[in-house]
Amino acid sequence: MLPRCWQAAASAIFHAVPGGHVLIPDDIYHGIRTVLQTVFADWGLGYTEVNMSDLAEVEAALEASRRFDQVVVWLETPSNPLVKVTDIAAVAEMAHATPGRTVVVDSTWVTPLVTRPLDLGADMVLHSVTKYLGGHSDLTGGCVVGAESVAGEGGLMARVRHGQTFVGGGLAPFDCWLALRGVRSLGARMPVHSKNALELAKFLEAHPRVTHTHYPGLESHPGHEVAARQMMGGFSGMLSFQVEGGEAAALALAARLQIFRRATSLGGTESLVEHRASIEPEDTPTPRDLLRLSAGLEDAGDLIADLAQALE
Ligand SMILES: *Cc1c(COP(=O)(O)O)cnc(C)c1O
């Protein structure tokens, strides 16, 4: 199913579970938190933030939401923007011990070439087609894929599809055409995004002015072992890092970059840098000294040289 945008995809899922409850990661694409707080709360759909990297916390949150017939367990791995890793298979197994638990994975950051959540036990996968699938930063689109567990006439997927159709969120023909054009080169693009991101992460990790580098391909990442198991052929092109000197230093660094463009979004051919806290709501937990990078398809040496001059 191809909704108009990712936000329409997420909303179609929430429309399908009235009176239920949603467990979301404590680090997550902020649009989800916002739509739950400002739209779905009024419709009786509550949510709880959970550290999904900690399986004991996930277990406790599942236990605390026992009284709901329908619980959506929302995962994003690696998460945006702190790049936290969640063990999809372990969470799916725990969730499915109780009927009415639907595991949804926002796989925007990784694509099916890197992580295959349905094979790991998830019930639904979402993508922002705007990102890697489209691949050229020239369309907006969403995508929902359902597993066997939610298929069929009475299944949740039928309700999601019905909601999308009648609430009005279908993707336009031209955007479908652009998406198909983009997907054709996904197999050639993804390994380059992953390779470039790993080189950038290694450079940043070794730089004295960088205090933290968040990338699951680094052995120092707390989720590296799980990531190595559930991410294939690379760790995708998204990373973030924190710099000495707080928000002002991060903003100044971003302004000095010549090849990385300052923009939101990700997954296109050009490398992007973003001061994430600036575009999120004011009460965001995102650290103010954090910059997020989307590694594009340029030469890795050029990208590293650009970061090196901006960090001087
Ligand atoms: C960008 C992004 C979205 C939202 O996608 P849009 O197509 O821009 O609405 C959702 N989840 C993640 C992880 C993202 O990075």
User: Could you tell me the pLDDT band of residue 256, with boundaries at 50, 70 and 90?
Assistant: very high
Ligand 1 atom closest to 7 (CA): 9
Predicted confidence band at 4 (pLDDT cuts at 50, 70, 90)?
confident
Of 276, 268, 82, 291, nearest to 207 (Cα)?
Answer: 291
Among 14, 24, 29, say which to mutate for ligand 1: greatest number of ligand atoms within 8 Å of CB: 29
Query: What residues are paired with 75 via a beta bridge?
Result: 105
Tokens standing for 2? 């191809």
Q: Which residue type, as a one-letter code, is found at position 213?
A: T
Q: How far apart are the first and last CA of the chain?
A: 47
Alpha helices in 168-268 (DSSP H): 173-183, 186-206, 224-230, 246-256
CA 58 to ligand 1 centroid distance, Å: 24
Query: CB neighbours of 277 closer than 8 A, spacing ≥ 6?
Result: 247, 284, 286, 287, 288, 290
- Identify the residue whose C-alpha is closest to ligand 1 atom 11: 29
Q: Decide whether any atom of ligand 1 lies within 6 Å of the 271 Cβ.
A: no
pLDDT in tens, 17-73: 999 999 999 999 999 999 999 999 999 999 999 999 999 999 999 999 999 999 999
> Do 129 and 143 meet the contact criterion of CB atoms below 8 Å apart?
yes
Question: Whose CA is closest to atom 3 on ligand 1?
Answer: 128
What is the DSSP code (8-state) at residue 172? P
Question: Within a 10 A sphere around the Cβ of 90, how many other Cβ atoms?
Answer: 16
